[in-house]
Chain A
Amino acid sequence: MMLMFNLTRHVCRLLVLVMTIIAFVSCQKAADNEIQTKRKDSINPSDSVQTRTIRLKTQWLHQAQFAGFYVALEKGFYSDFGINVLIEMGGPDDPSSTALTERKADIVSMFLSKALREIDKGNQIVNLAQISQKSSFLLVAKKSSGIRQIKDINNRRIGIWSNDFREPSMIFLNKHNITAQIVPVSWTTNVLAFDVVDIMNMMIYNEYDIFVNTGYDPEELTVFPLAEYGVNIPEDGIYCLKEYYEKNRELCHDFAEATMQGWIYALNHEEETLSIVLSYLRKNHLPANIPHQRWMLKQIHDSVLYNTDHFGRLSESDYNASVEMMKTNKIIQKHIPYSEFIRYAVSE
């Protein structure tokens, strides 16, 4: 009896020692990160958890803009939560919002403005997490066109995307009382190069860099970042249908949690993330332009960490301001309260 007691005591001591070492190593690893990652306490990787599958669709082709998803998958953040994620890319002809409403995707990434329009259309969708905290929209003109200030845009031809991505530019024009000839344009920047338009909208992380890399010195360009001119509608967020959320609350929370952990890891490990992004591009036969993806990751980094007070969450003030802008500009008529739109999926 005494022997059994001693043996148990030794085993307990050994277990405590092993756990202490594991905890110490984990703390050390976490301390390396600029923003510490958090794991769901309730889920232990060693636990036998039934694998749950999520079909994720991004609103655009694979690129560094969605690095957090790739990293969460490749580094095992999703599998840590027992989630099997199937990432499908969208594109100009394959919007993620449509996939969501048609239930071809469980969870999607899309702009806040697009989400608000979906709600306006009567689709019940909820925000699980907010990746972008700042608008990346720009209006870019060649200085040779004579545009140096906002008022110079008056009576000029302005190239604006023709589909889901046009709202911020339109709000900007209205807010500053600019009368300009709107020319619907595609995703290339050739119309600006050929002076079909005098100014056009671009995303700082994508088209702007592409345009600069066709031989333009940034000094030769006039750039209006919309966020700095009162039109800051945060963009990339993670959304699902309300009904899906109601049925899979824990799964949604876990997914959002793991995704943001993926983002934290991505932002703290730029080169590794870049190689993961490039592997996605190559796997899907997409152009793998390294400097461009690096530039994109850096811009997204700035946007994700723009306001660390509510990392991963859409603040109520940003939501209300965005709703107000879209209603004022008659882009939407109705909206739902912040509390119904937001599901606090990400841990504090």
Chain B
Amino acid sequence: MQFLSKVKQTFAFQLVFFIFILTLLIFMLMYAVNTYMTRKIMVQNAEQIARNLSWESINKIEGILSGIEELTSTTARLIGSGVLNEAAQPSYFSDLIKQKDEIMAVTIAFLPDYLSRNSNKRSCIFTLNQNECVQTDITPQARDYLIEDWFLIPVSKKTDYWSEPWIDKNIGTFPITSYSVPIFRNNQVIGIVRADISLEVLQQIVSTVKLLKTGYAILITGNGTFVTHPADSLILNYTIFSYAKQVNEPFLYDIGREMVQGKSSFIRLQKSQKFSQRWLYFAPVSLNKWSFGVIFPDNEIMADLRKVNLIFSAILGFGLIILLALIYTRIRTIFKPLRTLVNVANKIGSGDFNVKVPDPKLNNEVSLLSDSFSKMQSELKTYMDNLVKTTVEKDKISAEIRFAAQIQQRIIPSNKNLLTDVNEVSVFGILEAADEIGGDLYDAFMIDERRLCFAIADVFGKGIVASMLMTMVQTLIRSQAKYSQTAVDIIREVNAYLCENNKQSNFITMIVGILDLKTGIVEFCNAGHTPIYIRKSDQQCIRYGDTHCTALGMFEDLEIVSSTLQLDMQDFIILFTDGITEAMSDKEAFFGYQRLEELICSLQNPTPEGIVKTILNDVRSFTGQENQTDDLSILVIRFNHPKS
């Protein structure tokens, strides 16, 4: 099943299947159109044949009937005019019957009134017996011919009349049809001349009609009585109407009505259960108002068409199989290099860039693909080489950054030994870098035994440059503090250094302060940095927001001043970078100074570490754990007591 599923997905199968379906649809369309058109033509041909055949037979029948009509009418006129008298009649009728083979007998029958007035007249039948004319008298009394159809109808209607089939025992026991013509004398009907022909004459004409293999002809009378039919039991026994009842075919009944009404038509007996696969052409025999029909089966009309269709289908089916086989084989040949390419691609995919791309001998789409693939392989190889180099370099840089971060971490004073030997103050600081390495710094160190220098700074920007600048600045502060008397001096030196060496024009905001441990006086300078807070022991919080100069590293001739303040025992100096106040919540609100101030004021019996951690935790809860975008630095110094 899996194999089949794979085969079904192959290009060759898809293409062959598509062509097969398309060809099949085109074939079916052609077949349908061809069948429809050919069928139409064949039906038209069949109709034409049926029509010709019918009219040929009808003409034969009418030829016989018209001959009889002519002779009988002439005889009636001769008798009526008195030309043909009783003496001449035997020889006349003998010649007439001999001359016209179809005539079995001729009857002259007079009305009783005429007979009573003319005693020499008599009604009689002339027949031929062994080539001799036999004259048999008939009288109205012996046989009441006055009520017979052949007499009564033409006498009453004063016109000629073809009878329904009947048997006249005076002639024989076989069925006949009679043609009766009134004899007129002085415009009065005095009798009838009747000529009889054996029905067999007409039956023979119709029964010889053959159409296709099993097609046959029928002849029905004006009453619908079957004169001929392949089923003998129907002849002169059933009318088309009684037959329609017997076979329960109302449709046949309707056709019968049209036939006896003298219409002609060519129809398929579709509405019929029994004859649904047959065609019927019928036309009237106008002389005696009978109807002639030809019935033939549909499958015989279409026999040739079916044969042609069968051959056509066989050729097309065979051709289709050959075509599909050739296409399939050809596609497989064409796509053989493609399959090789697939194997090569798999090898390349698994890392073997040196595998050789096959060179297709033909110059076609596959060869183009092969060329492109070869180029792609080459470029991919170059790319992979570059990628390896880049990756190596990146790893190296990453390692260096990690090393720089470690150095930075070491430069930042550790809280474990941050002025722990100075009893007058307690110091705690923290620097949480947003990236691996940060751009903030804080520091607190003793310049000499009396003075404590503290600083916090924020380098504009982040990353390796900011980190290195921070390192330099921190080193500079420590080195300059020994030679500087005031925070202003330190700031000035830092600014001068930065302006001179800072080629990237990075600038730094910074607070540098010097605390006199004996007096508790703090001199500090705020170079564009965030405010400084002093938390008093009574939980009061004093904000020193004024800056003493702009950020450092931008202007060489910077005017720098400083401020001083007096610390009391247990006062806290709280320094921080803008990462604290500008920390942003999910709703894009800033942490802000007010929240910070409220937090600082609310603390009970704080320690430097407690203040730092409380602020840090509050900032984190405000921003969420994952949302730190800037370095966070806090430095808290508690002035425990003056130095003695």
Residues of A whose CB lies within 8 Å of any CB of B are 162, 183-186, 188, 190-191, 193-196, 212-215, 287-292
Residue B149, interface by CB 8 Å:
yes
The interface residues of chain B lying within 8 Å CB-to-CB of A290 are 246
Q: Are A186 and B237 in contact (CB under 8 A)?
A: no
A289 to B234, CA, bound (A): 8
Q: Are A196 and B156 also in contact (CB < 8 A) when A185-B147, A186-B149 are?
A: yes
Question: In the complex, which residue of chain B has the Cβ closest to the Cβ of A290?
Answer: B246
Q: Are A162 and B152 also in contact (CB < 8 A) when A213-B224, A215-B256 are?
A: no
Residue B184, interface by CB 8 Å:
no
B157–chain A nearest beta-carbon distance, Å:
7
| Binary per-residue interface labels of chain B (231-249) against chain A in the complex, 1 for a CB within 8 Å, 0 otherwise | 0010011111110011000
Query: Which of these, A186, A190, A195, A291, contacts B242 with CB under 8 Å?
Result: A291
* 16 other A-B residue contacts (CB within 8 Å) besides A184-B146, A184-B147: A184-B144, A186-B149, A188-B149, A190-B153, A191-B149, A191-B152, A191-B156, A194-B157, A194-B161, A214-B225, A214-B239, A215-B239, A215-B241, A289-B238, A289-B242, A291-B242
A300–chain B nearest beta-carbon distance, Å:
18
Question: In the complex, which residue of chain A has the Cβ closest to the Cβ of B246?
Answer: A291
A196 to B153, CA, bound (A): 6
B606–chain A nearest beta-carbon distance, Å:
121
What are 10 A-B residue pairs whose CB atoms fall within 8 Å in the complex? A162-B144, A186-B144, A190-B153, A190-B164, A191-B156, A213-B241, A214-B224, A214-B241, A215-B240, A215-B256
A213 to B147, CA, bound (A): 22
The interface residues of chain A lying within 8 Å CB-to-CB of B161 are 194
The interface residues of chain A lying within 8 Å CB-to-CB of B163 are 190
Question: In the complex, which residue of chain A has the Cβ closest to the Cβ of B253?
Answer: A215
B189–chain A nearest beta-carbon distance, Å:
13
Q: Are A162 and B147 in contact (CB under 8 A)?
A: yes
A134 to B490, CA, bound (A): 151
Q: Are A215 and B223 in contact (CB under 8 A)?
A: yes
B213–chain A nearest beta-carbon distance, Å:
29
B354–chain A nearest beta-carbon distance, Å:
99
A214 to B242, CA, bound (A): 8
Question: In the complex, which residue of chain A has the Cβ closest to the Cβ of B164?
Answer: A190
Q: Are B239 and A194 in contact (CB under 8 A)?
A: no
A213 to B157, CA, bound (A): 24
A289 to B238, CA, bound (A): 6
A194 to B237, CA, bound (A): 21
Residue of A185, A191, A214, A292 with most partner-chain B CB within 10 A: A214
Chain A contact residues, majority secondary structure: loop
Question: In the complex, which residue of chain B has the Cβ closest to the Cβ of A212?
Answer: B241
Considering the complex, which residues of chain B in the window 158-204 have a beta carbon less than 8 Å from any beta carbon of chain A? 161, 163-164
| Binary per-residue interface labels of chain B (85-114) against chain A in the complex, 1 for a CB within 8 Å, 0 otherwise | 000000000000000000000000000000
Query: Which of these, B223, B237, B240, B257, contacts A190 with CB under 8 Å?
Result: B223
The interface residues of chain B lying within 8 Å CB-to-CB of A184 are 144, 146-147
Residue of A184, A186, A191, A215 with most partner-chain B CB within 10 A: A215
The interface residues of chain B lying within 8 Å CB-to-CB of A288 are 233, 237
Q: Tally inter-chain residue pairs, CB-CB below 8 A.
A: 67
Q: Are A196 and B157 in contact (CB under 8 A)?
A: yes
The 3 closest A-B pairs by CB, nearest first: A287-B237, A214-B223, A213-B242
Question: In the complex, which residue of chain B has the Cβ closest to the Cβ of A214?
Answer: B223
The interface residues of chain B lying within 8 Å CB-to-CB of A291 are 242, 245-246
A287 to B163, CA, bound (A): 18
The interface residues of chain B lying within 8 Å CB-to-CB of A185 are 147, 152
A243 to B161, CA, bound (A): 50
A184 to B222, CA, bound (A): 23
The interface residues of chain B lying within 8 Å CB-to-CB of A212 are 241
The interface residues of chain A lying within 8 Å CB-to-CB of B237 are 287-289
Residue B148, interface by CB 8 Å:
yes
Question: In the complex, which residue of chain A has the Cβ closest to the Cβ of B257?
Answer: A215
Residue B260, interface by CB 8 Å:
yes
Q: Are A191 and B153 in contact (CB under 8 A)?
A: yes
B360–chain A nearest beta-carbon distance, Å:
84
B627–chain A nearest beta-carbon distance, Å:
100
The interface residues of chain B lying within 8 Å CB-to-CB of A188 are 149, 164
The interface residues of chain A lying within 8 Å CB-to-CB of B242 are 213, 289, 291-292
Question: In the complex, which residue of chain A has the Cβ closest to the Cβ of B260?
Answer: A215
The interface residues of chain B lying within 8 Å CB-to-CB of A186 are 144, 147-149, 152
The interface residues of chain A lying within 8 Å CB-to-CB of B246 are 290-291
B240–chain A nearest beta-carbon distance, Å:
8
B265–chain A nearest beta-carbon distance, Å:
16
B186–chain A nearest beta-carbon distance, Å:
23
A168–chain B nearest beta-carbon distance, Å:
18
The interface residues of chain B lying within 8 Å CB-to-CB of A213 are 224, 239, 241-242, 245
A288 to B161, CA, bound (A): 28
A186 to B246, CA, bound (A): 27
Question: In the complex, which residue of chain B has the Cβ closest to the Cβ of A194?
Answer: B153
Residue of B157, B225, B239 with most partner-chain A CB within 10 A: B239
A290 to B149, CA, bound (A): 25
The interface residues of chain A lying within 8 Å CB-to-CB of B233 are 288
B290–chain A nearest beta-carbon distance, Å:
13
Q: Are A190 and B241 in contact (CB under 8 A)?
A: no
A292 to B236, CA, bound (A): 13
The interface residues of chain B lying within 8 Å CB-to-CB of A215 are 223-224, 239-241, 256-257, 260
The interface residues of chain A lying within 8 Å CB-to-CB of B239 are 213-215
A291 to B241, CA, bound (A): 10
The interface residues of chain A lying within 8 Å CB-to-CB of B146 are 184
The interface residues of chain A lying within 8 Å CB-to-CB of B152 are 183, 185-186, 191, 196
The interface residues of chain B lying within 8 Å CB-to-CB of A162 are 144, 147
Considering the complex, which residues of chain B in the window 273-288 have a beta carbon less than 8 Å from any beta carbon of chain A? none
Question: In the complex, which residue of chain A has the Cβ closest to the Cβ of B261?
Answer: A215
Question: In the complex, which residue of chain B has the Cβ closest to the Cβ of A193?
Answer: B223
B218–chain A nearest beta-carbon distance, Å:
15
A287 to B256, CA, bound (A): 20
The interface residues of chain A lying within 8 Å CB-to-CB of B156 are 183, 191, 196
The interface residues of chain A lying within 8 Å CB-to-CB of B148 are 186
The interface residues of chain A lying within 8 Å CB-to-CB of B153 are 190-191, 194, 196
The interface residues of chain A lying within 8 Å CB-to-CB of B245 are 213, 291
A212 to B224, CA, bound (A): 11
The interface residues of chain A lying within 8 Å CB-to-CB of B222 are 193
A212–chain B nearest beta-carbon distance, Å:
8
A213 to B241, CA, bound (A): 5
Question: In the complex, which residue of chain A has the Cβ closest to the Cβ of B159?
Answer: A194
A268 to B78, CA, bound (A): 61
The interface residues of chain A lying within 8 Å CB-to-CB of B238 are 289
A288–chain B nearest beta-carbon distance, Å:
6
| Binary per-residue interface labels of chain B (210-225) against chain A in the complex, 1 for a CB within 8 Å, 0 otherwise | 0000000000001111
A196 to B150, CA, bound (A): 12
A214 to B165, CA, bound (A): 14
The interface residues of chain B lying within 8 Å CB-to-CB of A195 are 157
The interface residues of chain B lying within 8 Å CB-to-CB of A193 are 222-223
A196 to B245, CA, bound (A): 28
The interface residues of chain B lying within 8 Å CB-to-CB of A289 are 237-238, 242
Question: In the complex, which residue of chain B has the Cβ closest to the Cβ of A163?
Answer: B144
A180 to B237, CA, bound (A): 34
A22 to B223, CA, bound (A): 54
A262–chain B nearest beta-carbon distance, Å:
26
Question: In the complex, which residue of chain B has the Cβ closest to the Cβ of A196?
Answer: B156
A244–chain B nearest beta-carbon distance, Å:
30
The interface residues of chain A lying within 8 Å CB-to-CB of B236 are 287
A286–chain B nearest beta-carbon distance, Å:
9
Question: In the complex, which residue of chain A has the Cβ closest to the Cβ of B143?
Answer: A93
A292–chain B nearest beta-carbon distance, Å:
6
A157 to B146, CA, bound (A): 16
A183 to B148, CA, bound (A): 12
The interface residues of chain B lying within 8 Å CB-to-CB of A191 are 149, 152-153, 156
Question: In the complex, which residue of chain A has the Cβ closest to the Cβ of B243?
Answer: A291
| Binary per-residue interface labels of chain B (36-71) against chain A in the complex, 1 for a CB within 8 Å, 0 otherwise | 000000000000000000000000000000000000
The interface residues of chain A lying within 8 Å CB-to-CB of B223 are 190, 193, 214-215
A58 to B222, CA, bound (A): 31
